[in-house]
Amino acid sequence: MSDGLSLRLAAFDWLSRQVEALGDVLPWAILQQGFDFQGERVPLLSQQGIFKPRLLALPLSIRTAAGGPYDDVSQGNVLLYRYRGSDPFHRDNRGLREAMRQHVPLVYFHALEPGRYMASWPVYVVGDDPAGLTFTVQVDSAVYPLPQPADFDLGEPRREYVTATFRRRLHQAAFRERVLSAYRERCAMCRLRHRELLDAAHIVADRDPAGEPRISNGLSLCKLHHAAFDNLFVTVDPDYRVVVRRDVMEEEDGPMLRHGLQELHGVRIGLPRREEWRPSREGLEERLGRFRAVG
């Protein structure tokens, strides 16, 4: 392993601090601005998908664009990354091939929405398919020390597990970003606008075969109303009105219960502008049936 290891470790440390401060999803502006290293600014990405800062001989990061289907960048326990263009010998493709040969750790930026990225590091290029114009990539755990070249293959089972786990996190984060964007970053029930306090709630649970990660299977809800929705204290009927469970309506437990739940009964939720993004009436009807069975 070679090529600017101290800079790469500094980049990983900087990303860890950004995630701790801002959460898993990072904005383009911060990543493009980057960090200072030995008196020089080092951006983490650029408009090029395969990015090599001036201070390095090999790429530092790879990036996917927003809008591509999830299956285009994942397969089993690996991630797939398309070549730049169709020339296997383009300098960027040659750079990634050399990073694979040297087991050089990289950062992978996955666009969830335009300008918003989920980062994974360290990642390694572990395969090259010139006929398919595709590299194979795996995520490793940042908890462990970077492997020495002689020990690299011993980490394959761990990388398979970490990559599969990251795929699930990416899937969940992408669903949240799409749903919150469709609802203009507001709780559909109470209109709270603070993104940090918002979740994407599934109408049909994601563990259900019908629980697809579509915007129409989601609701943007604040933490309180997400918990109430998941625990069937409240639901939404197919006419997009909030229904509060009867026993909850009859409770007397202070202003939070009264203003936070009871006063929402019968209120029409906020909806996305686009018709195809609005909650599935079939999903809401199925959930209403379970809600009535509990209440």
Q: Quick one: 150 and 120 in the same domain?
A: yes
| pLDDT for the residue numbered 67 | 59
Tokens of 132: 């398919």
- Identify the domain containing residue 192 by its residue range: 186-294
Q: Pick from 179, 211, 242: which residue ends a domain?
A: 179
Q: Quick one: 32 and 54 in the same domain?
A: yes
Q: Quick one: 260 and 162 in the same domain?
A: no
- For the chain (295 residues), the mean pLDDT of every run of 10, in chain order, is 81 96 93 95 94 95 71 69 92 96 96 92 96 94 85 90 90 92 96 94 84 90 97 97 94 87 96 96 95 85
Comparing CA positions, the residue from 41, 70, 65 lying closest to residue 53 is 41
Q: Quick one: 33 and 140 in the same domain?
A: yes
Q: Pick from 179, 208, 226: which residue ends a domain?
A: 179
Q: Quick one: 135 and 21 in the same domain?
A: yes
End-to-end CA distance of the chain: 61
Residue-wise DSSP of 179-243: HHHHTTTS-TTT----GGGEEEEESS-TTSTT----GGGEEEEEHHHHHHHHTTSEEE-TTSBEE
| pLDDT for the residue numbered 236 | 98
H/E element holding 100? helix 91-102
Q: Quick one: 37 and 167 in the same domain?
A: yes
Q: Quick one: 120 and 260 in the same domain?
A: no
Virtual CA dihedral for 261, 278, 110, 170, nearest 10 degrees?
Answer: 50
Q: Where do we find the tokens 């200072």?
A: 36
| pLDDT for the residue numbered 58 | 96
Give the amino acid at 64: T
Determine the distance from the C-alpha atom of residue 230 to the mean position of all C-alpha atoms in its chain, rounded to a whole number: 21
Q: Pick from 154, 179, 204: which residue ends a domain?
A: 179
Q: Quick one: 131 and 206 in the same domain?
A: no
Q: Quick one: 142 and 201 in the same domain?
A: no
- Residue 216 contacts residue 277 (beta carbons within 8 Å): yes
Q: Quick one: 193 and 175 in the same domain?
A: no
| pLDDT for the residue numbered 68 | 47
Residue-wise DSSP of 103-161: T--EEEEEEEETTEEEEEEEEEEEEEETTTTEEEEEE--TTSPPPPGGGGGGGHHHHHH
Q: Quick one: 149 and 217 in the same domain?
A: no
| pLDDT for the residue numbered 71 | 42
Task: State the CATH number of the domain containing residue 91.
Answer: 2.30.280
What gap in Å lies between CA 4 and CA 58, rounded to an integer?
9
Q: Quick one: 121 and 57 in the same domain?
A: yes
Cα–Cα distances in angstroms (integers) from residue 53 to residues 35, 42, 58, 121, in the given order: 12, 7, 8, 17
Number of domains in the chain: 2
